[in-house]
Amino acid sequence: MRQIVADQQLIAVHSQAGQNQRRVRGRCWTALGILAAWLLACWPAATFAADQAERRPNVIVIMADDIGAECYGCYGSKQYRTPHIDRMAATGMRFTHCYSQPLCTPSRVKLMTGLSNARNYSAFSILNRDQKTIGQYFKEAGYATAVAGKWQLLGAEQYAPRFRGKGTWPQEAGFDHICLWQVDRLGSRYWAPLLYVDGENKSFGPDEYGPDICCNYLLNFMEQHRDRPFFIYYPMILVHAPFEPTPGSASRESKDDQQNFEDMVAQMDAQIGRIVAKTEELGIAENTLILVTGDNGTHPRIRSVINGQTVRGGKGRMTDAGTHVALVARWPGKIAAGSVSDALVDFSDFLPTVLEAAGIERPQHLDGVSFLSQLLGNPGPTREWIYMWYWPRPEQGRPARMARDRRFKLYGDGRFYDLQADPSEEHPIAEPTGEALTAHAKLSKVLETMPAEGATVLRFPARPKRQ
């Protein structure tokens, strides 16, 4: 309004100067035209920008613990009950080639920092304090941030003194709302759990179930923050051993690991269903990107039948059974319902993807490649290979590494496999020809260019000074 008044005064001054009426009329029309243009162009633009800022999407990254792709209905299992994740896939996108690291901490460090373990992995249960994490990016962008589930990134009380407390607290990683198992203390994760809730360790009763407490915590967080952009990282407690009955099990006394595991998968699925349903209930589903994955393959005690084959869990191994995990994405109105992508996805890709989805500037130093264009069905960058550097306990043994594409895999020690013909890696190809030879040349180059040695093994950088 101040601008309009100023322009009217300007017109009045011109009139009082006794200038030629036609010229004045012309100037009046010109000024009014500028005003109209300003009102039409600038004011709506400002409103639009404000709307866009308000509409920054919520992002929910859900990562279950120890579950390979063979344990989901939407990946072909008839053994496990995953109706909610199957529905997510039916209303969103399912990826057929997502690969984690073979074990918890390596996958978590990679997902949270967007970097190969070769660059920033120090030891099991440690996320280095000098690393900028997914939580910090969202917090700095003004998001409300929450984490619930399993942490295991500080170096808790059960680890050797040389590792204890050397990692990162969840608050340091950018999370303002916290409900986690295994931060500094150990304790039970399922029944009668010990959880670290908003800065304090709390013991719960014998009929209280840790995974449900974490899920309820997040549902409450979503209700409290429905009116502003939020980021949730949900590294689920389920379905890691010990294999215990769940609230949904027929008997609380069951000692059958396989049956209990199947009940735990159903419980995991139900909790993911509650998170999705909450976005619908709050009217924020179309402004919320949800990603669901697993941190590594299934426990070796578990057997799963898929496509007529029995798969033994491959947790801890660099095979497909150890690293091929589900990735299901949902964002109604943005991601085409029922779509399937065969794009290669590496665990370093989650960070650049969610940053791009939220309009947060992506740092240049990441190893990850955003798969947002795949989610939205747009042309965009795709991966030609994945590099995996793996040394979970650097106090023993030597690192292993490999490069792979959808079909072929080349290890640092020279073993080369056609995974289409030999998914369990029993018959290395001695002399590749044709397509295998081309892939071998491509993957050899990846191994030459990516670091072979870990830059930070058994080193624990100090916490950086932050203002």
Residue ranges binding Ca ion (CB under 5 A): 65-66, 104, 295-296
Contact predicate 216/225, CB 8 Å: no
Which of 170/322 has CB closer to Ca ion? 322
Burial (0-12, 13-18, 19+ Cβ within 10 Å), 318: buried
Shortest CB 109 distance to Ca ion, Å: 12
Shortest CB 108 distance to Ca ion, Å: 8
Which of 174/313 has CB closer to Ca ion? 313
Alpha-carbon distances, residue 459 vs 121, 265, 340, 403, 450 (angstroms)? 9, 36, 41, 26, 20
Q: Which helix (H) or strand (E) holds 344?
A: strand 339-346
Of 243, 289, 302, 305, residue with least CA distance to 268: 243
- Strand 339-346, strand 386-390: pairing: unpaired
Strands of 416-418's sheet in order across = 386-390, 400-404, 408-411, 416-418
Which of 323/348 has CB closer to Ca ion? 323
Shortest CB 240 distance to Ca ion, Å: 6
Q: What is the DSSP string of 13-25?
A: HHHHTT--HHHHH
Shortest CB 296 distance to Ca ion, Å: 5
Shortest CB 66 distance to Ca ion, Å: 4
Which of 295/418 has CB closer to Ca ion? 295
Query: What number of other Cβ atoms are within 10 A of residue 76's Cβ?
Result: 13
Which of 117/279 has CB closer to Ca ion? 117
CA dihedral 285, 287, 289, 290 (to 10 degrees): -20
Q: What is the DSSP string of 109-158?
A: HHHHH-S-HHHH--STT---TT---HHHHHHHTT-EEEEEEE---S--TT
Shortest CB 336 distance to Ca ion, Å: 31
Shortest CB 299 distance to Ca ion, Å: 9
CA–CA distance, 283 with 299 (Å, rounded to integer) = 38
Contact predicate 294/67, CB 8 Å: yes
CA–CA distance, 124 with 175 (Å, rounded to integer) = 21
- Strand 309-312, strand 303-306: pairing: antiparallel
Which of 314/352 has CB closer to Ca ion? 314
Q: Which residue is nearest to Ca ion (CB)?
A: 104
Upper half-sphere CA count for residue 356 (Cβ side, 13 Å): 18
Which of 111/351 has CB closer to Ca ion? 111
Shortest CB 292 distance to Ca ion, Å: 15
Q: Which residues contact 264 (CB under 8 A, 6 or more apart)?
A: 238, 239, 243, 244, 246
Which of 312/406 has CB closer to Ca ion? 312
Which of 93/239 has CB closer to Ca ion? 239
Shortest CB 69 distance to Ca ion, Å: 14
